[in-house]
Amino acid sequence: MIKAEPNMEPEWLEVLKPEFGKPYFNELKSFLLEEKRQYRVYPPGNRIFAAFEFTPFSKVKVVILGQDPYHGDGQAHGLCFSVPDGVAKPPSLVNIYKELSTDMGTPLPASGNLEKWAKQGVLLLNATLTVRANQAGSHQRRGWENFTDEVIRQLSARHSGLVFILWGSYAQAKETLIDTSKHVVLKAVHPSPLSVYRGFFGCRHFSKTNEILLSKGKGEVDWSL
């Protein structure tokens, strides 16, 4: 399911190569092989590292951090909050789109596929990259967090002027991995229906991100979909 070195964009492969030989990563591979024997696991194997394929390391401008993949059939495809074309938009993504439309004055997107953002330098990273079907959080604390924490550390260390968008307490706990003297962190409650009215609506993170990028001499993100 995961090779010795995953199929990944070459820049990322070089940055993350030390992780692939560490004990936690070998244990993670064994765990996933056993999970795959007994259960359905999402996303498909060839999409686990999709975030790293669409957004090369040197092109990252923005990081949006999610928790773990959607656990419903056909939903997860390797980008946080995103679903493939033709798949119904989950409630959190519906709320993200509502805020996007209000903030940027754009129509509500028809598709839940966020690949367009990823191709513009928005790394759509889940902290856990796989999940057992219909069991949210089932692959947490199995090693993925070690890997994705290192992703955040490397981005923080090797880049400057990135925008990290952290929605909800889980994502915000990752702020300790970010050098905030070099990067900008935008925080709000999670876009889940349970919390969206406590500060997600009105956060204006899309327009604020573009203002920050422009102030640092970087190109804006075209958030329209």
Say if residues 4 and 20 touch (Cβ distance below 8 Å).
yes
The number of CA neighbours under 13 Å toward the Cβ of 197 is 2
Kind of pairing, strands 184-188 and 163-167?
parallel
- Which of 68, 103, 179, 222 does the annotation list as catalytic? 68
> What's the CA gap between 132 and 165, in Å, rounded?
26
Q: What share of the chain is helix, strand, coil (3-state, %, to 5)?
A: 40, 10, 45
Strand ranges in the chain using DSSP code E only, listed in sequence order = 41-42, 62-66, 122-126, 131-132, 163-167, 184-188
Residue 68 a catalytic site member = yes
Whole-number Å distance between alpha carbons of 88 and 157? 37
Question: Do the Cβ atoms of 168 and 192 come closer than 8 Å?
Answer: yes
Catalytic residues: 68
